[in-house]
Chains A and B, each alone.
Chain A
Amino acid sequence: MLAKVRGRAAYAVIVLLLLLVMLAPFEWFLARYTTLMIFIGLNTMLTVGLCLLMGYTGQVSLGHAAFFGIGAYFSAILSKTYDVNPWLAMGIGAAATGAFAYVISYPIFRLRGNYLAMATLGLGLIIYILFRELGDYTGGPDGMYGIPYLSAGGFVFDTPFKRYFLVWGLCLAMLLISQNIVRSRSGRALRAIHGSEAAAESVGINSAQFKMKIFVLSAVYASLAGSLFVHHLRFVGPQPFGFLASVMVVVMAVVGGLASVWGAIFGAAAIRILSDKVLLEFGELDLIVYGLILMVVMIFLPQGLFVGLKEGYARLRLRYVRREAEP
């Protein structure tokens, strides 16, 4: 009972925070930070997918940026080269990415642990190379310009301000869906697979199937983010989809606290702000800083930064409450 009430309170706080985030652009904030907020939203979509896969299910992916890229290139190529309606292109991209993830999940989830991590790393590299080398379609290393804006009826998403709402609307939908899944029968199955695959099978969980489903879902999230990404920038090149981009997503997930849906916003925001607003001032220290973050967080707070801090706070509060209760 208590847990339920507390759950509702947490829910209310989250909704309130999100409303603040949504309303934020109306302030002075608007002019300066809308673009940053859009990137945070897109990164959150990627990160929450990886959190579901890695944090909850315990399956490492070091090639997640590849799915982001597949969505991006599908949208770019279909809407620019073939004049397909951008929304339809986005849908086709998501479906294709999902189908691709589905097909490769069969061989790839025969692997576990270190092998799986290496295989996803290799897969990410392969796809990145294809983006670069299939120049006739993708524009090669130079990329493609002049990708159309998204529009609905007569309404064109031609300003960052409009796209801000589009991105965060979809992002919130993804977060809510993820949250609902995590708290469901399927979510328990995913966490059970993380806990012990043998035990999960023993209670009748088809671990191969659940891994496949969550892999496909996270790939589709990434693909949708990729589509929005190119319709925002109106440009696509291979650079944001390589190995380091995949590592970035891992960094965000680690900072967000791997097994935490809402932590994904925290992780994406923290790293995005760090890289766009702080690290740019200091030249190119980004790799050093990300490497350090990964090592330090995983050594001292293996459950991830956001969750680790949350648990630390809960412990402190408990101690405080106990002291209050004593006469």
Chain B
Amino acid sequence: MTSILETKGLCRAFGGIVALNNVDLAVEAGRITAVIGPNGAGKTTLFNLVAGVYPVDRGEIVFRGTALNNVATHKRTAMGIARTFQNVLLFGNMTALENVMTGQHVRSRYGFFEAAFRLPKSRREEETISLKAMRYLNLVGLGMHAQRNALDLPLGQQKLLTIARALATEPQLLMLDEPGAGLNTLEKRDLSDLVRRIRDMGISVLLVEHDMDLVMGLAEWVVVLDSGQKIAEGTAGEIQRNQRVIAAYLGEEEE
């Protein structure tokens, strides 16, 4: 049991509203972990804190033994954390392949100078970048769309493309923000298969998801947030039977 990511006593408030209160979370290496909870439970806040979009108020985020609190967003990617976005955020001014190639940014080094004069280093690295990018594109099944503009693809494929882009950063932890939103049943099944294959590659997966069927079929560990607090965690089966979780989802009807 080694956890790749841990949060200890994580707190974050916006204005007067507490979005996350004292959350302890452990993402075990090589496992698919899901964070669920009703709207406003703090799921996205948790994601953004781990990714470094905004700073934490109190508490600690530890990734493979290193405290992340003061690490800039782009450096977290270099350390091995990758993410997708709820609202997709593909680069509309590039082809599908180029989108994935940007993922290789942190795994390549050559800069302005080598590029400006097309030094051998730049050509060598560029070749590796495009080969690897093509491999990730094939992995998510978009190989034949490499040269199409990213935003010309249908939503389902756009979401796969963001996963390929995140994978191209060669992460140890992949965070998926609502990967199933807007997908049909067939696409969701393909998505589940893909996430399992990613797990089998040795990449830990942390996902936030609304679709219970998807989560229960996919996640090996489920963490439930409600009003900024962790109220339960366990296997999918345990969570489905947990009274507090049922109460949180059904809300006031309990009273």
Q: Which residues of A contact B (CB under 8 A)?
A: 3, 177, 180-181, 183-189, 191-192, 194-196, 198-207, 213, 217, 259
Contacts and interface: CB of A to CB of B under 8 A. Distances in A.
A180 B82 contact: no
A185 B116 CA distance: 11
Interface string B93-117: 1100010011111101011101111
Nearest to A201: B73
Contacts of B122: 184-185
B43 interface: no
Contact of B169 (A180, A194, A203, A207): A203
A205 B98 CA distance: 14
B177 to A, nearest CB: 10
Top 7 A-B residue pairs of the complex, sorted by shortest distance between their CB atoms: A204-B77, A195-B91, A184-B115, A204-B106, A199-B89, A201-B73, A177-B116
B73 A199 contact: no
Contacts of B32: none
B106 A203 contact: yes
Nearest to A259: B93
A185 B91 contact: no
A292 to B, nearest CB: 27
B57 interface: no
Contacts of A204: 74-75, 77-78, 105-106, 169
A195 B94 contact: yes
| A interface: dominant SS | helix
B90 interface: yes
A200 B89 CA distance: 9
Contact of B102 (A3, A200, A213, A217): A200
Contacts of B18: none
B110 A202 contact: no
Contact of A3 (B82, B106, B125, B147): B147
A205 B93 contact: no
A219 B51 CA distance: 33
B126 interface: yes
19 contacts: A177-B117, A180-B117, A184-B115, A186-B112, A191-B98, A192-B105, A194-B93, A196-B91, A198-B85, A199-B85, A201-B73, A202-B82, A202-B83, A202-B89, A203-B103, A203-B166, A203-B169, A205-B74, A205-B105
Contact of B91 (A3, A199, A207, A259): A199
Nearest to B73: A201
B165 A203 contact: yes
A3 B147 CA distance: 9
A3 B91 CA distance: 20
A201 B118 CA distance: 25
Contacts of B40: none
B129 interface: yes
| B interface: dominant SS | helix
Interface residues of B, number: 42
Contact of B53 (A177, A184, A198): A198
A217 B165 contact: no
A185 B110 contact: yes
B93 A195 contact: yes
Contacts of B116: 177, 180-181
B9 to A, nearest CB: 26
Contact of A188 (B75, B102, B111): B102
A303 B54 CA distance: 33
Nearest to A193: B91
Nearest to B106: A204
Given A180-B117, A184-B122, A199 B90 contact: yes
Contacts of B169: 203-204
Given A184-B122, A191-B93, A202 B77 contact: yes
A226 B218 CA distance: 62
B72 interface: yes
Given A184-B122, A199-B91, A203-B166, 7 more contacts: A185-B105, A191-B94, A196-B90, A202-B51, A202-B73, A204-B78, A205-B74
Given A188-B94, A204-B105, A205-B102, A181 B112 contact: yes
A101 to B, nearest CB: 14
Given A3-B147, A217-B112, A259-B93, A203 B73 contact: no
Contacts of B93: 191, 194-195, 259
B133 to A, nearest CB: 10
Contacts of A183: 115
Interface string B114-142: 11111000100110010000000000000
Interface in B56-77: 72-75, 77
Contacts of B182: none
A112 to B, nearest CB: 15
Contacts of B125: 185
B237 interface: no
Contacts of B98: 188, 191
Interface in B149-176: 165-166, 168-169
Given A188-B102, A189-B102, A198-B53, A181 B89 contact: no
